[in-house]
Amino acid sequence: MKYAMIPCRYGSTRAKLKNLALIGGEPMMAWSIKAALGSNCFDKVIVNGDNDVFRKIAKEYGVEYYERPINLGSSETLIDDVFYDFIEQNPCETAAIVNTVNPLQTGEEVAKVMAYYEENELDSCNTYELKYIHSCLGDRPINFEYGKMCKTQDLEPVKMIAYSVQVVRTSVFMKERNIFCGKHEMYGPISKKAGMLVKTPEDIEIINAILHYHSSVTYYES
């Protein structure tokens, strides 16, 4: 059995009630529900939440709801602990987190991650986006040298872990309690839209603007 978990916490800090923020007229969490359902990869899609409003939305979109324990609802709770409890209460062979903070990922993209995980016989897999930017860790350059600047297209790209989908073989995860468990690889690069993370109110505004003005590229004609 393969289950998708849609994680929703009511007390988000940087963007208040972000899972309930309207993206294109729908609650942000609904976009991940639709992506999980649209992938046609899962026997069950289950919202993991801590408030009855999430239960209501789960029912509206035709998926199940699991109420996480109160002690797993704080901002300091690690996703490993939330996932462990979820799998313990919803036993399955494969479990995937389809993250609500990546509302623009599609069912097709979720399906590609799941296919990569299965074809490579992995124990865990998550996603990454490539960034062609001059990057530093603190003040130390990572992919360039001070005094030897180059064009961004010539840089070695930086892999940014996107966490849009995190999938595990539950028998291995439950032993290690780590989403990077066992034989692990990253799938990518995912699309720039799928990699867009919602962490702040400004991120919500940007994504809504993208949806509102979405169109193919056009050019100025002289």
Give the mean model confidence (pLDDT) for residues 159-171: 96
Helix locations, the chain, DSSP H: 28-39, 52-60, 79-89, 107-119, 170-176, 201-212
User: pTM for the full model?
Assistant: 0.91
Task: Note the pLDDT of residue 173.
Answer: 98
Q: Is the pLDDT of residue 14 over 70?
A: no
pLDDT tier at 70, thresholds 50, 70, 90 = confident
Which of these, 156, 157, 179, lies nearest to 168 by C-alpha position? 179
Q: Which fold has domain 2-212?
A: Spore Coat Polysaccharide Biosynthesis Protein SpsA; Chain A (3.90.550)
Question: How many whole angstroms separate alpha carbon 12 and alpha carbon 173?
Answer: 26
Q: Is the pLDDT of residue 117 over 90?
A: yes
- Residue 158 near residue 133 (C-beta atoms within 8 A): yes
Task: Note the pLDDT of residue 27.
Answer: 96
Phi, psi angles (nearest 5°) of residue 58: -55, -45
How many other C-beta atoms can be found within 10 angstroms of the C-beta atom of residue 23?
A: 20
